[in-house]
C-alpha cells in the first residue's frame, strides 16, 4: 500500500511536470465562456467550434484571412475527470426536419480544440511549429451565480437574500415562502422536515423569479435551480432564515443546521467549481441576453446588471506580468457580447451595444482599471434570421425574417414552425438610459426562431469573426 | 485640408495676376492659331495639296492638344477622387461611421473594377456583402482584399527604384548628372506607384502628387531621426570609408526609398494604420538582400 502510494505520488509529480512541459511546447489557452442561464453559452461554443473546424469564412479573423491556419481539430478529452462537451449531439439537434436549439446545459463539460498554424517569427518558423490548444468549458449558467457566495457567510447571505425578496417585484413571488418563514424560529431546535420544507418553498420562489415575463437574474444558490447530479443531496436542503447579518447562532438550533449546510455547499461545491474551472482562465467572453431583459422591464435589467457585476468581481482580471505565470494567470481580454443580435435589425446593433455597455459599466470599469483589454459587441453565433424591408402604410420598416418555432405567437397570429415570417422587432432607443429605465418593457416584438439550416456546411453568424479575433487571434501567428 | 484653411485666413483679394496670365495665354493661343491659319492659307494659295496636308496636320495637332488637355483633366479628377476616398476612409476608420464606409468601399470598388490584378480580391469582397460587419472592419476588409496585393507591388517598385538610384549614383562620373538621374528615377517611381493605386499620373497630377509627397516628407521628417543616423553611418561612415561614391549612392538610395514610402502614403486610397506604416528599416532589409532582388527581377521579367 505504502509502495503504491509512493508510485502514485511519483506519477502525479511526473504528470504535473509533463503538463508544465507540454504547456511550454504547445501553449493552451483557456477560454472562459461566461454567461447566466439562457444566454446562449452552448450555442456559442457549438457555433465557434463548428466554424473553426469547418473553416467557415470569418472575415475579421486575421490568421484565417492570411491563410496561416493549417488544420483545426478536436483533441481527445484531456481531463479524465470531466465529461466531454457534447459537440456532435448539439450539432445534430440543430439539423434535420425537427431541428431545435440544444437543450439547456445540466452539467459541466469540456472540449479541447487544437489549431495548427504556420508560425510567423523567424525563430519559430525554423525550430518550432505553431500549435494552440483552446480549452473551452461549458456549464449551467445558474452555477455562476454561486461565485459571490464565496465571500459571504450564512447570516450575511440570509439577510441580504431576504431583504431582496421583500422588495418588489419579488415580494409577490415570495408570498408562500415568506408565510412559512414567519412560522419558523431560527433559535428553535433543528428539525429536518422544516429545513426540507423551507428549501422546497425557497426553490419554488427562485423558479418563479426566473420564469418568462419576470426574467430576474440574481438567483443564488444556483444548484437549487440546476442541481446537476446533486439532486436531493443534504447540501441543497437549506434556505435563508429571518436573521440579522451579525446574529450569534446557537449550537443545535435550526439556524446552526442551515449554516452547516450552507458552509458545506460553499466549500464542497462552489469553491472546487471555481478553482478547477475559473481560476486559470486566459480569456473571457461574457454572454448577456440583453434583449430578453429589456423586454422584461427595468427590474430585470437592473437585476441582470447587479448579477453580472457580482459574478465578474470573482474573476482575476488584468494584465499579465512575468510573475503572473507562476502566481496564476489573469484574464487579460474580456469581450462583453450581447447575444441573439439576429433578433433585431443590424441598424440597431450599435444601440444594443451601447445598452449592454451601460448595463455592465461597473464590471467593465473594474476590469479596465485592472488593465484588461475590453470590447463590446452585438453577436449572434448562429444567425437564424435574415433582413428584409417591408412597406406598410407607406412606411418602410426594417424587418427580420426567419421561421418562428411552432406555437410562437405575435399579436394573435400563431406560427406553425414551417412558414417564414417577416417581423418588425421594434427600434431600440438611441439613449441607453431610456432602455435601462424600462421604457422598452414589452415594446420589443420577438419570437423564438428555429435554428437555420447550414448552407454548404456553414452557418451564418453576426460578428462571430470579431469575437474570435479578439479572443484568440493574437495567439495565432 | 490645410490649404483651404490658409485661404480662409487671408482676406480675399481679386487675383489680378491670374487675370493677367490668363489674358496673356489667350493672346498667345490666338497668335498661334492665327499664325497657323495664315500658314495654311498661304500654302493653299501655293498648292491645293500642300494646303490640305497642312490643314490635316493642324487639325491633328489640335486633336492631340485636346486629348492631352482632357487627359490632364481626367488625371486631376482621378487624383481628387482618390483624395476623396482617403478622407472618407479615414473618417470611417476613426469614427466607425457607416455612411462614410459605404461610400469609400463603393468608390474603391469602382476604382478597381476594371483591373485584372484586383479581380480576385473584388470577387472576395463582393461575397462578404450580405454579412453584418462593422463599418470600421468593413473598411479594413476592403483594404486587405483590394490593397494588400498592391502594397506588395508598391514595395517592390520602391525597392527597385532605390537600388537603381544607388547604382547610378555610384557609377555616374559627374555630380551634376546624378542629380538629374535621381530626379528622373524618383518621378518615374512616383508615377508607377500612382498608377498602381489607380491614379492617372499625367503631367499636372504628377506635379501635384510630387508636392504632396514633399509635404508629407516635411511632416514626417521629425520622426525620421533614426533614419538620419543611419544615413550618417552609411554615407559618411562605414560605406564612405570604403568608397566615397558608393557612400553617396547609398545615401541617395535611402532618400529614394523614403520618398517612395511617402509616395505610397500619398497615393494609397486608404490611409495606412499607425503601426502598419512601413519603416525604412523594413525596406532596407529588402534592399540589401540579394535573394529578394532576384525575385524582383523574376517578377519583372514575368510581367
Within 8 A of A354 by CB-CB distance, chain B residues are none
Chain B closest-CA separation from residue A383 CA (Å): 10
Contact call for A60 and B137, based on CB within 8 A:
yes
Contact (CB, 8 A) for A294 and A356: no
pLDDT at A4: 41
Residue that finishes a domain, picked among B97, B127, B157: B127
Rounded mean pLDDT of A182-205?
A: 85
Within 8 A of A59 by CB-CB distance, chain B residues are 128, 131, 133, 137, 141
pLDDT at B282: 60
Contact call for A466 and B134, based on CB within 8 A:
yes
Closest CA to B108 of B77, B139, B72, B154: B139
- Report the mean per-residue pLDDT for chain A: 83
The yes or no reply on domain A31-141+277-380+460-475 and CATH 3.40.50.920 is: no
Contact (CB, 8 A) for B249 and B169: yes
Domain that holds residue B199: 147-271+278-302
Chain B closest-CA separation from residue A346 CA (Å): 7
Contact (CB, 8 A) for A319 and A308: no
pLDDT at B161: 92
Count how many domains chain B has.
2
Collapse the DSSP code of B289 into the 3-class scheme (helix H, G, I; strand E, B; otherwise coil) and give the result: coil
Chain B closest-CA separation from residue A464 CA (Å): 10
Is B257 in the same domain as B186? Answer: yes
* Residues B170-179 pLDDT 10s: 888 777 788 8
Spell out the long-range contacts of B227-236 with Cβ–Cβ below 8 A and sequence spacing 24 or more.
B227/B254, B227/B258, B227/B280, B230/B254, B230/B280, B230/B284
Q: Write the CB contacts of A422 (distance below 8 Å, at least 6 apart in sequence).
A: A388, A390, A399, A400, A401
Mutation target vs A (from B134, B137, B143, B144; most A CBs, 10 A cutoff): B134
Band (A10; pLDDT cuts 50, 70, 90): low
Q: Judging by DSSP bridges, how do beta strands A409-410 and A28-35 pair with one another?
A: unpaired
Q: For B135, name the nearest residue in chain A, comparing CA atoms only.
A: A350
Q: For B137, name the nearest residue in chain A, comparing CA atoms only.
A: A60
Is B163 in the same domain as B257? Answer: yes
Residue that finishes a domain, picked among B67, B95, B127: B127
Q: What percent of chain A has pLDDT over 90?
A: 15
Within 8 A of A466 by CB-CB distance, chain B residues are 134, 137
The answer to the question of residue B8 being in a domain is no
Is B109 in the same domain as B221? Answer: no
Chain B closest-CA separation from residue A41 CA (Å): 21
* Residues A399-412 pLDDT 10s: 888 888 887 777 77
The answer to the question of residue B14 being in a domain is no
pLDDT at B86: 92
Chain B closest-CA separation from residue A305 CA (Å): 26
Conformational region of residue A442, where left means phi above 0, alpha means psi within -120 to 50, and beta covers everything else: left
Contact call for B132 and A463, based on CB within 8 A:
yes
The contact set of A with B (CB < 8 A) is: 57, 59-60, 65, 346, 349, 386, 460, 462-463, 465-466
Phi, psi (deg, nearest 5) at residue B274: -55, -50
pLDDT at A143: 85
Within 8 A of B128 by CB-CB distance, chain A residues are 57, 59
Is B158 in the same domain as B105? Answer: no
- 3-class secondary structure per residue, chain A: CHHHHHHHHHHHHHHHHHHHHHHHHCCEEEEEEEECCCCCHHHHHHHHHHHHHCCCCCCCCHHHHCCCEEEEEECCCCCCCCCECCHHHHHHHCCCCCCCCCCCCCCCEEEEEEEEECCCCHHHHHHCCEEEEEEEEECCHHHHHHHHHHHCCHHHHHHHHHHHHCCCCHHHHCHHHHHHHHCCCCCCECCHHHHHHHHHHHHHHHHHHHCCCCCCCCCCCHHHHCCHHHCCCHHHCCCCCCCCCCCCCCCCEHHHHHHHHHHHHHHHHHHHHHHHHCCCCCEEEEEECHHHHHHHCHHHHHHHHHHHHHHHCCCCECCCCCCHHHHCCCECEEEEEECCHHHCCHHHHHHHHHHHHHHCHHHHHHHHHHCCEEEEEECECCCCCEEEEEEECCEEEEEEEECECCCCEECCEECCCCCCEEECCCCCCCCHHHHHCCCCCCCCCCCCECCCCCECCECCCECHHHHHHHHHHHHCC
The answer to the question of residue B265 being in a domain is yes
pLDDT < 50 regions, chain B: 1-6, 222-223, 225, 275-276, 290-303
Contact (CB, 8 A) for A386 and A335: no
Local structure of residue B38 (DSSP, 8 states): H
Partner residue opposite A462 with nearest CB, options B128, B132, B141: B132
Contact call for A60 and B141, based on CB within 8 A:
yes
Contact call for B133 and A460, based on CB within 8 A:
no
Between B282 and A56, residue with greater pLDDT: A56
Contact call for A59 and B128, based on CB within 8 A:
yes
Most confident of A350-364, A406-420, B213-227: A350-364
Partner residue opposite B131 with nearest CB, options A59, A65, A349: A59
Range from A306-320, A322-336, B129-143 carrying the lowest mean pLDDT = A322-336
CA distance A319 to A333: 9
Is B180 in the same domain as B247? Answer: yes
Is B114 in the same domain as B236? Answer: no
Contact call for A59 and B137, based on CB within 8 A:
yes
Mutation target vs A (from B92, B132, B143, B148; most A CBs, 10 A cutoff): B132
pLDDT at A323: 57
* Partners of A334 in the β-ladder: A284, A374
* Residues A230-254 pLDDT 10s: 777 888 888 888 887 777 788 888 8
Collapse the DSSP code of B164 into the 3-class scheme (helix H, G, I; strand E, B; otherwise coil) and give the result: helix
* Residues A456-472 pLDDT 10s: 889 989 999 999 999 99
Pull the grid cell for residue A234: 443534504
The answer to the question of residue B13 being in a domain is no
Mutation target vs B (from A59, A63, A354; most B CBs, 10 A cutoff): A59
pLDDT at A127: 66
Contact (CB, 8 A) for A240 and A202: yes
CA distance A441 to A299: 10
Is B288 in the same domain as B171? Answer: yes
Is B46 in the same domain as B162? Answer: no
Range from A156-170, A337-351, A408-422, B250-264 carrying the lowest mean pLDDT = A408-422
Contact call for A59 and B133, based on CB within 8 A:
yes
* Residue ranges per structural domain of chain A: 31-141+277-380+460-475, 144-274
Within 8 A of B137 by CB-CB distance, chain A residues are 59-60, 466
Contact call for B141 and A59, based on CB within 8 A:
yes
> How many CB pairs lie under 8 A apart between chains A and B?
22
Q: Does the pLDDT at position A78 exceed 50? A: yes
On the 0-12 / 13-18 / 19+ scale of CB atoms within 10 A, A45 is buried
Q: What is the ipTM of this complex?
A: 0.75
CA distance A198 to A262: 14
Rounded mean pLDDT of A335-339?
A: 93
CA distance A329 to A373: 15
Amino acid at each position: 500500500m505504502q509502495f503504491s502510494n509512493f508510485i502514485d505520488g511519483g506519477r502525479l509529480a511526473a504528470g504535473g511536470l509533463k503538463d508544465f512541459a507540454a504547456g511550454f511546447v504547445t501553449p493552451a489557452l483557456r477560454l472562459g465562456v461566461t454567461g447566466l442561464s439562457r444566454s446562449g453559452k452552448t450555442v456559442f461554443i457549438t457555433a465557434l467550434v463548428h466554424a473553426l473546424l469547418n473553416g467557415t469564412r470569418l472575415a475579421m479573423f486575421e490568421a484565417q484571412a492570411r491563410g496561416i491556419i493549417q488544420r483545426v481539430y478536436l483533441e481527445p478529452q484531456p481531463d479524465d475527470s470531466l465529461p466531454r462537451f457534447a459537440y456532435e449531439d448539439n450539432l445534430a439537434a440543430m439539423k434535420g426536419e425537427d431541428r431545435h436549439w440544444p437543450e439547456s446545459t445540466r452539467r459541466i463539460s469540456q472540449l479541447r480544440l487544437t489549431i495548427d498554424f504556420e508560425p510567423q517569427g523567424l525563430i519559430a518558423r525554423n525550430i518550432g511549429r505553431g500549435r494552440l490548444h483552446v480549452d473551452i468549458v461549458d456549464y449551467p449558467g445558474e452555477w455562476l451565480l454561486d461565485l459571490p457566495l464565496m465571500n459571504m457567510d450564512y447570516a450575511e447571505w440570509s439577510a441580504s437574500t431576504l431583504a431582496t425578496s421583500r422588495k418588489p417585484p419579488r415580494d409577490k413571488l415570495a408570498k408562500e415562502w415568506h408565510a412559512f418563514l414567519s412560522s419558523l424560529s431560527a433559535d428553535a431546535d433543528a428539525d429536518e422536515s422544516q429545513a426540507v420544507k423551507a428549501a422546497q418553498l425557497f426553490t419554488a420562489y427562485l423558479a418563479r423569479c426566473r420564469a418568462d415575463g419576470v426574467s430576474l437574474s440574481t438567483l443564488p444558490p444556483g444548484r437549487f435551480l440546476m442541481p446537476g447530479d446533486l439532486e436531493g443531496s443534504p447540501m441543497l436542503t437549506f434556505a435563508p432564515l429571518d436573521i440579522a447579518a451579525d446574529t450569534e447562532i446557537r449550537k443545535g438550533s435550526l439556524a446552526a443546521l442551515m449554516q452547516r449546510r450552507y458552509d458545506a455547499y460553499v466549500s464542497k461545491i462552489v469553491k472546487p467549481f471555481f478553482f478547477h474551472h475559473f481560476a486559470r482562465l486566459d480569456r473571457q467572453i461574457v454572454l448577456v441576453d440583453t434583449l430578453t431583459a429589456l423586454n422584461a422591464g427595468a427590474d430585470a435589467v437592473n437585476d441582470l446588471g447587479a448579477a453580472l457585476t457580482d459574478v465578474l468581481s470573482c474573476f482575476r482580471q488584468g494584465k499579465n506580468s512575468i510573475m503572473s505565470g507562476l502566481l496564476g494567470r489573469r484574464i487579460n481580454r474580456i469581450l462583453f457580447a450581447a447575444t441573439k443580435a439576429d433578433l433585431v435589425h443590424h441598424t440597431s446593433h450599435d444601440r444594443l451595444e451601447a445598452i449592454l455597455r451601460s448595463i455592465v459599466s461597473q464590471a467593465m470599469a473594474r476590469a479596465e482599471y485592472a488593465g484588461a483589454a475590453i470590447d463590446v459587441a452585438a453577436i449572434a453565433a448562429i444567425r437564424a434570421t435574415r433582413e428584409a424591408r417591408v412597406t406598410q402604410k407607406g412606411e418602410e420598416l426594417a424587418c427580420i425574417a426567419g421561421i418562428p418555432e411552432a406555437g410562437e405567437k405575435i399579436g394573435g397570429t400563431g406560427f406553425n414552425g414551417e412558414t417564414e415570417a417577416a417581423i418588425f422587432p421594434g427600434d431600440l432607443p438611441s439613449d441607453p438610459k431610456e432602455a435601462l429605465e424600462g421604457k422598452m418593457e414589452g415594446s420589443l416584438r420577438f419570437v423564438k426562431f428555429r435554428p437555420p439550416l447550414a448552407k454548404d456546411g456553414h452557418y451564418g453568424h453576426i460578428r462571430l469573426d470579431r469575437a474570435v479575433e479578439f479572443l484568440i487571434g493574437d495567439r495565432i501567428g | 485640408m490645410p490649404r483651404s484653411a490658409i485661404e480662409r485666413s487671408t482676406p480675399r483679394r481679386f487675383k489680378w495676376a491670374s487675370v493677367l496670365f490668363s489674358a496673356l495665354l489667350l493672346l498667345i493661343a490666338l497668335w498661334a492659331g492665327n499664325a497657323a491659319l495664315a500658314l495654311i492659307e498661304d500654302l493653299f494659295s501655293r498648292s491645293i495639296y500642300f494646303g490640305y496636308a497642312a490643314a490635316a496636320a493642324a487639325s491633328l495637332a489640335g486633336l492631340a492638344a485636346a486629348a492631352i488637355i482632357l487627359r490632364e483633366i481626367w488625371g486631376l479628377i482621378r487624383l481628387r477622387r482618390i483624395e476623396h476616398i482617403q478622407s472618407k476612409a479615414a473618417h470611417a476608420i476613426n469614427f466607425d461611421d457607416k455612411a462614410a464606409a459605404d461610400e469609400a468601399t463603393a468608390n474603391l470598388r469602382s476604382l478597381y473594377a476594371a483591373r485584372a490584378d484586383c479581380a480576385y480580391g473584388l470577387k472576395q469582397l463582393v461575397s462578404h456583402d450580405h454579412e453584418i460587419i462593422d463599418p470600421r472592419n468593413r473598411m479594413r476588409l476592403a483594404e486587405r482584399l483590394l490593397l494588400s496585393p498592391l502594397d506588395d507591388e508598391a514595395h517592390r517598385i520602391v525597392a527597385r527604384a532605390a537600388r537603381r538610384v544607388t547604382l547610378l549614383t555610384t557609377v555616374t562620373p559627374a555630380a551634376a548628372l546624378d542629380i538629374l538621374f535621381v530626379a528622373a528615377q524618383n518621378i518615374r517611381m512616383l508615377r508607377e506607384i500612382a498608377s498602381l493605386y489607380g491614379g492617372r499620373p499625367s503631367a499636372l497630377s504628377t506635379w501635384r502628387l510630387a508636392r504632396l509627397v514633399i509635404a508629407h516628407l516635411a511632416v514626417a521628417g521629425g520622426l525620421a531621426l533614426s533614419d538620419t543616423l543611419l544615413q550618417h553611418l552609411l554615407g559618411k561612415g562605414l560605406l564612405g570609408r570604403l568608397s566615397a561614391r558608393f557612400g553617396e549612392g547609398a545615401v541617395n538610395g535611402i532618400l529614394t526609398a523614403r520618398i517612395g514610402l511617402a509616395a505610397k502614403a500619398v497615393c494609397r486610397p486608404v490611409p495606412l494604420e499607425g503601426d502598419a506604416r512601413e519603416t525604412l528599416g523594413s525596406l532596407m532589409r529588402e534592399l540589401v538582400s540579394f535573394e529578394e532582388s532576384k525575385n524582383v527581377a523574376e517578377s519583372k521579367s514575368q510581367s
